[in-house]
Amino acid sequence: MSTMDTELSEISAFIQSIPPFDSLPKQVLAQLVRELTINYVRKNEALPPQGITDPRLYILRKGAISCLSSGNELIARLGEGDLCTAFCSEDIAQQDGIHIVQTDEDSLVYSVSIEVLADIGERFPSISDFFSNDSAQRLKNKMNKVNEEAIMASTLMNTSVSNFYQSPVETIECSSSIQQAAIQMTEQGYSCLVVVDGEEPVGIVTDKDIRRRCVAAGLSTEQAISEIMTTDMCTIDIKNNAYDALMTMTAKHIHHLPVTKYGNLAGMVSVTDLINNEGHNAINLSSIIHKANSLEELKQISDLLPKLQIRLAKLGSSADHVGKSISAITMAFTKRLIEMAEYKFGQAPVPYAWLAAGSQARQEQLAHSDQDNAIIICDTMKPYDDAWFENLANFVCDGLAECGFIYCPGDIMATNPKWRQPRKVWQSYFTDWVETPSPKALLNSSVFFDLDTIYGDKTLLEDVRQNMLKSTQKSTLFIAHLSKNALGLRPPLGFFRDFVLKPNGKHKATLDLKHNGIAPVVDLARIYALAEGISAVNTIERIQQAAGTRSLTKASAENLIDAYEFLGMLRVEHQAQKLMRGEEPDNYLSPKEISKLEREHLKDAFKVIKTLQDARQSSF
C-alpha cells in the first residue's frame, strides 16, 4: 500500500533512529516496520514475552530492561531505543553470558523475527554485519571505516593534486611485450605504466594486471602489453584537488590515476602518495623549536600546541598519530631546554640521560599534560657532580612549566633528588619494586615501567631496562601484584538512557575516558610487556609485540588495539571540541555528546577490555 509509509510514520521514525536501521532505505525500513510485533510487558516480568518461542530481536520502545548473568550480576541495562539481541539465535542462547532478561519498568517492546532480519541482511550487509558479528568484530569494522574516513577527511580537500603527482609519467609503447613492461616496472620501481601509441595515451597497465590478466590467466608474456591494459583510462585534470583524486580512485577501485594538464598527460598520482601526506605539521613545529634561541621563543611556540592538537583531530588523525606528534613536540621542547641548560651551565661532568616517564615515554601525550621526567647518571659520578644535574633539572622543569607542561603533582620529576640518580641506584629501585612488590609502591612507581630516553646516553637506561625485564619475566609475584593494581580500574557496562552504567548498576553522568577506558588498556599492555620481557613502551607496540605470546593471543591483541584506538579517537575528538571552545581539555565524556552508534561501539570496546581483564585475573 503506497500510503503506508506515512501511516506508520511514528514507528518508522523511531526504528530509523536506531543503528543499524538508520542505514536502510525508506522502502526497506517500511518493510521491516510492517513485520514488527508489539508486546506490553509488565514490570519484573521476563523476556521473551509469554508464548513467544521463535528467535527474535527485541527493540525497547518504552520502559527499562535488565540483562543479568546466571549469578544475577548485571550485564546490561536497556532503555528506550536499545536493542536486545539475547534471543536472536535458535537456541535462545545465553549470549554474552546473559541468562535472565527482565523488565525493570512496564515496557512496550517491539520485536522482529530473525528470518525477516536475515532476509533484509542478505540485501543489506550493514544489517547482517551488525547482528552476526561479536563485539570485537563490530569494533574492527568500525575502526577500518574510521581509518578510511581519516584519509578522506584530511587536508586533501585543500591541496591541489599538483602537490602530489609524480612527473614525468612512465610510459610504454603499446606494441611492447608484457615481459618488457614487467622489466621496465621492476627497473624503475613503478607499479603502473601508461601505455602509448606514439604520443597518444591509449591505456594503463599495473603490476596487478600482469598478475591477474597475464600470469593467472596463463597468457604468454610475449603478448603485446595492449592485450592486458585497461583502455577506459580514468584521468584527472591537474586543477582538481587531491580529495577529488582520492574519491575517483576509491569509486573506481583503482590505485593510480594519470593527471592531465590541458588535456595532455602530465603525471601520475597514487593512493600511497595521498596517504603519505599527513603529519608534516608536527615536523615543521619540531624544527622551529630546534631553532628557538630563548625561553621566550619557546613559550610562544608552545601556544601553538593546542592548535596543533585541534588541527590533528580535525584531520581525522588517529589518537596514536596525535599522541606521537604531541609527544615528539614535547621531546623537542625538552631537548632544546637541555641544550640551553648545557650552554648555560657548561658540559655535564659525566655522561647522563634525560628520561621521560609515563605518557610521554609511551608517546601517548596530549597537549599540555603534566611533565613526568627523571635523570639517570653514569655510575662514575661524584657526589658533588649532583649540583650540575640539579641545575639542569631546575632549568628544564621550570622551562617546561613555562611552556605549559605543568609540574607533576606526584613529584615525579628530575628536580626530585630521588629521581635524579646514578644507574646503580636506578637498578636497585627496580630490583626492589620487582623482588619485594607492595601494591602501594607499585602504584607510585608503575610510571617508571614506561621510560624512554629523551636526550643523552641511551645505553644507561637500556642497561637497567634489560636487567629489569629479565627479572620481571621470572617474577610471577611481581606480575600478580601489578595485575591486581591494574585490574582495579574496570570499564563501565555500557549506557542506560543518557547515563553511564557502572558495574554496580549505578549511573553516572559522564564517562571517564582516561581511567575507565584508556588506562585499563595501557595497564594491560604494561603487564604483557613486563611478563614477556618486551622493551617497547608504546601501548600499541607493546600489544603488537605481545601478540602470540602466552600472555595474549593474536586475535585478542587485535581486538584490544581496536578498542584502544576507538577510545583514543573519542578522547581526541572530545578534547578538540573543548579546545575549540577555549575550555580546558579533559577526559569526561557525556553520553549525550556521542551518537547512538558510537555508544554501541564503546560498549563493544568495554567488552573487549573486560574480557581481557577477566582473563588476566583468572590466570592467578
* Interacting residues toward another protein by CB under 8 A: 1, 3-4, 7-11, 14, 33-42, 49-52, 61-63, 105-106, 108
- 62/307 with CB nearer another protein: 62
Q: Could you tell me how far CA 448 lies from the centroid of its own chain?
A: 24
DSSP state, residue 211? I
Which residues, other chains included, contact 546 with Cβ-Cβ below 8 Å and sequence gap of 6+?
Answer: 525, 528, 529, 532, 534, 552, 557
Residue 66 CB, shortest distance to another protein, in Å, is: 17
Residue 14 CB, shortest distance to another protein, in Å, is: 8
Q: Could you tell me how far CA 565 lies from the centroid of its own chain?
A: 2
Residue 605 CB, shortest distance to another protein, in Å, is: 31
Peptide bond into 168 cis (omega under 30): yes
Report the relative pairing of strands 56-62 and 37-41 from DSSP bridges.
unpaired
* Among 453, 478, 454, CA closest to 620: 478
* Among 64, 87, 88, 59, CA closest to 76: 64
Residue 41 CB, shortest distance to another protein, in Å, is: 7
Residue 106 CB, shortest distance to another protein, in Å, is: 6
Residues 513, 348: Cα–Cα separation, whole Å: 42
- 34/596 with CB nearer another protein: 34
Residue 496 CB, shortest distance to another protein, in Å, is: 17
Instruction: Name the grid cell of 109.
Output: 517492546
- 44/428 with CB nearer another protein: 44
* Among 619, 579, 614, 620, CA closest to 73: 614
- 39/483 with CB nearer another protein: 39
DSSP state, residue 225? G
- 33/563 with CB nearer another protein: 33
* Among 353, 354, 296, 310, CA closest to 330: 354
* Among 371, 374, 333, CA closest to 352: 374
Residues 459, 468: Cα–Cα separation, whole Å: 14
Instruction: Name the grid cell of 612.
Output: 581481557
Give the H or E element holding residue 470.
Answer: helix 458-474
Residue 16 CB, shortest distance to another protein, in Å, is: 15
Residue 113 CB, shortest distance to another protein, in Å, is: 10
- 44/144 with CB nearer another protein: 44
- 261/497 with CB nearer another protein: 497
- 7/296 with CB nearer another protein: 7
